[in-house]
């Protein structure tokens, strides 16, 4: 446990001290008053162990970030690739009503972090770092063939990671024709519960982009169906500039 966290360090010291006290206590009979004292000490140790385990669990993400060599782009603290790269991306919000409130955005960010933490139950830290490294290739050289190939590798190797939903969405934004439709559909359905670190949810955002794509193709019925799903199921969903998607939907 790192001494940079005083409470965790204090609990560890207390646990060690109590354990040492029990270890050095002389054997006692049932009638000896020390027997009661030892039982009490053991109970205190048990409680401290439970508290320490809970504290370690809570501090684990923070400790991981502070360790030498820790990558800021891990599942707990992702960086964002440029999101507004598509010609179908929304315009800058032009009024206050189009922007989500701080409370709405905070709620979405909390959901994003909760989804990211679920990756820790399925993958090791090394695997998540590998997935993030593949993702960040696109961040460093956007729209390049290298970026696309790296994202494809990530989707294939880590199909259930939160970041894979983001990668699939980006691939969809860069694709054309039927491939674009397939990738955005996958992002909207298979990876609907994935999030970017800023609170943008992959599912509704992919539906938004897919709806705009259908409008460009003249398939208005498909577009309207997707836009209606956003209105009904995701009224608080946002884009990467903090705009409410429902405020960006076409009016006609």
SS3 content of the chain, % helix, strand, coil (to 5): 65, 0, 35
Count CB atoms within 10 A of the CB of residue 100: 22
Cα separation of 130 and 152, whole Å? 14
The enclosing H or E element of 165 equals helix 162-174
CA torsion angle for 87, 92, 94, 100 (degrees, to 10)?
A: 120
Q: Please tell me whether residues 102 and 205 are part of one structural domain.
A: yes
Among 74-88, 115-129, 138-152, 160-174, name the one with the lowest average pLDDT: 74-88
Nearest to 198 by CA among 162, 239, 235, 245: 239
pLDDT at 39: 74
* C-beta of residue 90 within 8 angstroms of C-beta of residue 200: no
Cα separation of 245 and 232, whole Å? 12
Cα separation of 124 and 183, whole Å? 27
pLDDT at 229: 97
* C-beta of residue 213 within 8 angstroms of C-beta of residue 181: yes
- What's the pLDDT tens digit per position in 57-113? 554 444 333 333 223 333 333 334 444 343 344 444 456 558 999 999 999 999 999
Q: Please tell me whether residues 50 and 103 are part of one structural domain.
A: no
Among candidate residues 51, 66, 81, the one where a domain is terminated: 66
Residue-number span of the structural domain to which 148 is assigned: 96-248
Q: Which residue has the higher pLDDT, 137 or 34?
A: 137
Q: How many CA atoms lie within 13 A of 44 on its CB side?
A: 17
In the chain, % of residues over pLDDT 90:
57
Q: What are phi and psi of 195, to 5 degrees?
A: -135, 150
**pLDDT beyond 70 at 130:** yes
Q: Band of the pLDDT at 30, cuts 50, 70, 90?
A: very low
Q: Please tell me whether residues 198 and 146 are part of one structural domain.
A: yes
How open is the CA angle 26-29-33, to the nearest 5 degrees?
Answer: 80
Average pLDDT, the chain: 77
Q: Please tell me whether residues 33 and 114 are part of one structural domain.
A: no
Q: Please tell me whether residues 169 and 228 are part of one structural domain.
A: yes
**pLDDT beyond 50 at 48:** yes
Cα separation of 184 and 175, whole Å? 9
Q: Please tell me whether residues 122 and 49 are part of one structural domain.
A: no
91 is a domain residue: no
Q: Please tell me whether residues 54 and 109 are part of one structural domain.
A: no
* C-beta of residue 109 within 8 angstroms of C-beta of residue 199: yes
């Amino acid at each position: 446990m790192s001494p940079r966290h005083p409470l965790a360090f204090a609990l560890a010291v207390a646990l060690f001290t109590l354990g040492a006290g029990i270890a050095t206590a002389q054997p006692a009979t049932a009638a000896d008053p020390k027997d009661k004292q030892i039982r009490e000490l053991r109970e205190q140790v048990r409680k401290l162990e439970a508290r320490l385990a809970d504290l370690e669990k809570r501090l684990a993400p923070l400790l991981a970030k502070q360790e030498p060599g820790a990558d800021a782009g891990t599942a707990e603290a992702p960086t964002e690739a440029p999101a507004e790269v598509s010609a179908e991306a929304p315009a800058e919000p032009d009024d206050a009503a189009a922007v989500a409130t701080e409370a709405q955005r905070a709620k979405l960010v909390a959901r994003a972090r909760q989804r990211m933490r679920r990756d820790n139950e399925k993958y090791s830290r090394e695997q998540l770092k590998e997935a993030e490294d593949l993702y960040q290739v696109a961040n460093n050289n956007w729209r390049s063939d290298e970026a696309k190939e790296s994202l494809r590798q990530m989707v294939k190797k880590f199909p259930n990671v939160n970041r894979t939903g983001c990668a699939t969405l980006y691939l969809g934004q860069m694709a054309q024709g039927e491939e674009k439709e397939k990738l955005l559909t996958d992002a909207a359905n298979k990876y609907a519960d994935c999030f970017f670190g800023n609170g943008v949810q992959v599912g509704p955002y992919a539906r938004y982009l897919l709806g705009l794509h259908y409008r460009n193709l003249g398939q208005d019925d498909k577009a309207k169906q997707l836009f209606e799903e956003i209105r009904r199921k995701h009224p608080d969903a946002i884009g990467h500039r903090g705009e409410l998607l429902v405020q960006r939907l076409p009016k006609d």
